[in-house]
Structure 1
Amino acid sequence: MKINLIGAVGGGNFGDEFILNSCITEYSKMNRATIFVSGFNDGLILKNNCAVITEKTNFFQVMMNLKKETAGGLYLSFEQIAASFESLETFDLIHFIGGGYINSLWPNNYALLAIAYMYAKLHEIPIYATGLGLYPFVEDEKLQDLFESLSVIDVRDKESKYFIPTASYTGDDALLEFYNIEQLSRIEDVPSLIISLQSHLFDGALQMKNLLSDDFFALLRKKKLKKIIIIEAAPEDNIAIPRELYNHALNYGLEIEFCSGSELIKNGLPLNKKSFVVSSRYHINLLYSMLGIAGIAVYGNDYYKNKHESIIDMGGGWEVINQENIKNALYSWLSFNDYEDMDKSKMESIASAKKSLFSNIIDNTPTMSTKNMSLEGALAIVNEYIVK
């Protein structure tokens, strides 16, 4: 069976690459499964030398090629889109894996979904979408009809469920690893403060400079934390640590370690049950919550606020704070150690629903869609959104 997994992969984002690896693991349980991957870049991060194919597979590339044909305001025809499929393999199913890439922040991905839907309809194969974050969304009845015409539409947060009420709601696809999460970590001998801040949301370097002061180092030492681990969960998170600051931390008995998203995929998340995490990255929050590690979730806009709050809905216990309050929140934890525990039973329940959904997909027995958008309807979506 030839399976095409489509996702926001290849760009070095830890969360999206983690989802990809989780879905590959599930599909690898099938007999004679050949896995193809469509991503917006070729830099896939795969663990355990996973065997996937990226040639003659990429719907992102199909969309970009079609977009060139719209120069000068020209509309795409059904024949042009059908002809674009000739460069692809013939797949047995298409699966849009989870993530927050099909929404009004990147509206041309609505066209991506419609293009893949047209391929599925022409070849009479199922098309699945799981763990999607559709917020913020465009209030467009055509888009709702498209989502509801997929063989499966599954979302990860309440706002997305509000947009598509008929969707199943089994949380993020990373929950596939709920029962395996400790095997995807590496044990640290000493507890650490783990920091993962996105510098494109706010001035992460300035936040770091404000945090890493003498008073802060003294509190960390009093808390018996021995290390600061800075996680680069995506390439744009890279925050330089001046050598003098690194040496200053050593004077307090604190080592500063840097860890990339690629290292997390290949070697596992650094784990000590007494560590504490401060992160603006959604999947750092989710995975450490799955591990039962305390932390603070930081947001810089409503998109990330919704994402972090959705983890609370899944059973997470981290406080969700605006980026302006990072220092006060951390000092509060260092001084009083007040944080909510994770609701393990709630997270286990939703993880079980996620596993069940994937089992039904793999067995080809999911609850099918109730709508059936026409090729003409999908074409209208492509022409409206491919240029946005």
Structure 2
Amino acid sequence: MASRDHSPVYYLITPAGFPNYGDELIADGWLRHLAEVAPEAEVWVDTHSPGPAQLLHGGTHPRVRFVDTLWRLCGEAGRDSDNDPWQVAAWVQRAVNDPSLSPARRHGIELLRRADVLHVLGGGYVNGIWPHHFGLLGGAAAIARQTGARTAMTGQGLVPPPEDGTALLRALTDRFDIVDVRDAESADVLGTEPGLDDAFLTIAQQPTIAPETVWPDTEPPEVMVCVQSDRNDSGPGALAGAVLSLLRAWRVRPETVCFVEGIPRVDNHIVALIEQELPGARHYSFAELWDHGLPVTAQQTWVSTRFHLHLAAAAAGAGGVAVPLSTEYYTPKHQALLDLGSGWTMLSELGDTPDMPDSGGFDAATLDAHRKRKLRLAESIYDGAGTRRWQA
């Protein structure tokens, strides 16, 4: 039949829905942006957790829906290849070109072919820790080669790269129209310049809540702590000891401490080791964080192993201390925020006890400049997209 014009089809690829505060923040930001600039667009989010993602993000754009096609293809490829990035990327590309290799994904692949924009959202999930995720890049690039869709990957954290995988990473990213990375080390991998984390796009619009509203009958917490148990090179005891020693060195009253959860349960294991020494400390769950907003003020001090809580708290003007758990994975991320002006301190060693910060956070002008820079990138991806035609 003759071709006809259509509303643009935007296809976002992300690990949203796990849930993980950082991944949800990024997905929410891009959906907010598209709801503002392209409310008529047909938006698909490809994630490993489409059901939970629907619950968290289903109301953010009027025409958003959720699938798991590319993530499923990566899983299928990884089972037979020991998650080797070369084999996964090659098989996923073959599968999107020949859906008979994965007949259960045929309808999902047909949907991919309708996309005007294929956008791999930011985060630190395409690297040597999760090498099978290289299939996400391969699948998007292969579809675009078929259809002429615009391709983008933004705010990427690509370190540590997989062993023997740098050449593949460069080859795949060369097939994208727009490539943006969030830290200097990732930029070095590709031989490019660092950009910004995707959360800067709408960070000023993310909901916060006054601590006095959360705790109306008691003194609100003064020290906010997010301490995770995953991706920890030093072990739980070393991390628990470092956080407790820091709070004791600062002579923090336990009842003025609040533990914040970025990933449900994962961010409670270390807390369980030290909360007996901090009677009266409070807890703020991921569900509360997502439903009500971040309880942050510029008067607080933060201690965080998680990158996006560092970013969000600093964006609200709070100072703090970043605790990197992995020199290859977390140090580059936290350092990128320091270089951008977060005003935080980062521990060099877990045993360090720096003075309690009395200032910090992004100043308003710096934060606005970062937001505008990210907005220009968003405009370069979506302005004018959706002009292709499709066969009905």
Instruction: Specify the alignment match of 1:21 in structure 2.
Output: 28
Equivalent of 1:351 in 355, 366, 371:
371
Q: Between the two proteins, what is the percent identity of the paired residues?
A: 24
Q: Is the 8 A contact 2:315 2:361 kept in 1?
A: no
| 2:255–2:282 Cα contact (<8 Å) kept | no
Where does residue 173 of structure 1 map in the other structure? 198
Match of 2:188 in 1: 162
Correspondence for 1:369: none
Task: Give the distance between the partners of 2:183 and 2:384, measured in 1 at CA.
Answer: 25
* Cα deviation, residue 8, structure 1: 2.0
Instruction: Write the mapping of 1:312-323 to structure 2, written as runs, cut at 5 A.
Output: 312-322=338-348
SS of equivalent to 1:233: coil
- 1:59 equivalent in alignment to 2:70: yes
Mapped partners of 1:241, 1:153: distance in 2: 38
**Contact 1:205–1:239 (Cα < 8 Å) also in 2:** no
Alignment CA distance shift 1:197-1:124 (3 Å): same
- Equivalent AA in structure 2 for residue 292 of structure 1: G
Structure 1 residue 278 displacement after superposition = 0.4
- Is the CA contact 2:122–2:154 (under 8 Å) kept in the aligned structure 1? yes
Give the Cα–Cα distance (whole angstroms) in 2 for the partners of residues 48 and 39 of structure 1. 13
Q: Deviations for 1:208-243, whole angstroms, at most 9, x for unmatched residues? A: 477559x9399324xxx8532111211322237669
Structure 2: 5+ residue stretches without partners: 1-7, 100-104, 213-219, 386-392
Q: Aligned pair in 2 of structure 1 residues 276, 205: CA closer, same or farther (>3 Å)?
A: farther
Which of 258, 261, 267 is 1:237 aligned to? Answer: 267
Letter in 1 for 2:121: I
What is the CA distance between 1:359 and its match in structure 2? 2.0
**Cα deviation, residue 295, structure 1:** 0.5
Give me the whole-angstrom Cα distance separating, in 2, the residues matched to 1:31 and 1:109.
Answer: 30
2:389 counterpart residue number = none
* d(CA) in 2 for partners of 1:306, 1:258: 28
1:175 is paired with a residue whose SS is helix
Q: For 1:1-388, what aligned pairs fall within 5 Å after superposition?
A: 1-29=8-36, 30-42=38-50, 43-44=52-53, 46=56, 49-50=59-60, 52-55=64-67, 58-67=69-78, 76=91, 80-84=95-99, 86-88=106-108, 89=111, 90-138=114-162, 140-166=166-192, 169-181=194-206, 184-189=207-212, 190-200=220-230, 201=232, 202-204=234-236, 207-208=239-240, 216=248, 219-221=251-253, 227-235=256-264, 236-239=266-269, 255-302=280-327, 303-322=329-348, 324-325=350-351, 328-329=353-354, 332-333=355-356, 337=357, 342-364=362-384
5+ residue gaps, structure 1, are 366-388
Inter-partner Cα distance in structure 1 for 2:74 and 2:60: 26
CA deviation vs aligned residue, 1:159-192 (integer Å, no higher than 9, x gap): 122222346x4310100124324xx100012342
**Equivalent pairs, count:** 346
Given that 1:3 and 1:35 are in contact with CA atoms closer than 8 Å, whether structure 2 keeps it comes out as yes
How many angstroms apart in 2 are the aligned matches of 1:241 and 1:141? 41
> Distance between the aligned counterparts of 1:350 and 1:9, measured in 2?
23
The answer on whether the counterparts of 1:318 and 1:340 sit within 8 Å (CA) in structure 2 is yes
Q: Deviations over 1:17-55 (max 9, x none)?
A: 110001110111204112211112232262583353124
Q: TM-score, normalised by structure 2?
A: 0.77
Structure 2 residue identity aligned to 1:230: F
1:85-129 Cα distance to aligned partner (Å, 9 max, x none) = 632113222110000111122222222211221012112211111
Distance 2:347 2:271 in 1: 24
Change beyond 3 A, Cα 1:243–1:149? closer
Quick check: 2:11–2:45 contact (8 Å CA) kept in 1? yes
Structure-1 separation of matches of 2:93 and 2:157: 29
8 Å contact 2:166–2:189 — kept in the other structure?
A: no
Distance 1:203 1:65, change over 3 A: closer
Relative to 1, partners in 2 of residues 1:80 and 1:203: Cα closer, same or farther, differing over 3 Å?
closer
Cα contact 2:21–2:286 (8 A) shared by 1: yes
Q: Distance in 2 between matches of 1:299 and 1:237?
A: 15
- Contact 1:48-1:266 at 8 Å conserved across structures: no
SS of residue paired to 1:87 = helix
2:47 maps to a residue whose letter is G
Q: Determine the C-alpha separation between the residues in 2 that align with 1:206 and 1:311.
A: 25
2:190 aligned partner, one-letter code: I
Amino acid paired to 2:41: A
* Secondary structure of the structure 2 residue equivalent to 1:163: helix
Question: Partners of 1:218 and 1:78 in 2: how far apart?
Answer: 54
**So what's the TM-score if we normalise by structure 1?**
0.78
Q: Which amino acid aligns with 2:139?
A: I
* Distance in 2, Cα, partners of 1:50 & 1:233: 20
Letter in 1 for 2:371: A
- Cα distance 1:76–1:362, how it changes in 2: closer, same or farther (>3 A)? closer
Higher normalized contact order (CA 8 Å, seq sep 6+, divided by chain length): 1
Q: Give the RMSD, CA atoms, in angstroms.
A: 3.2
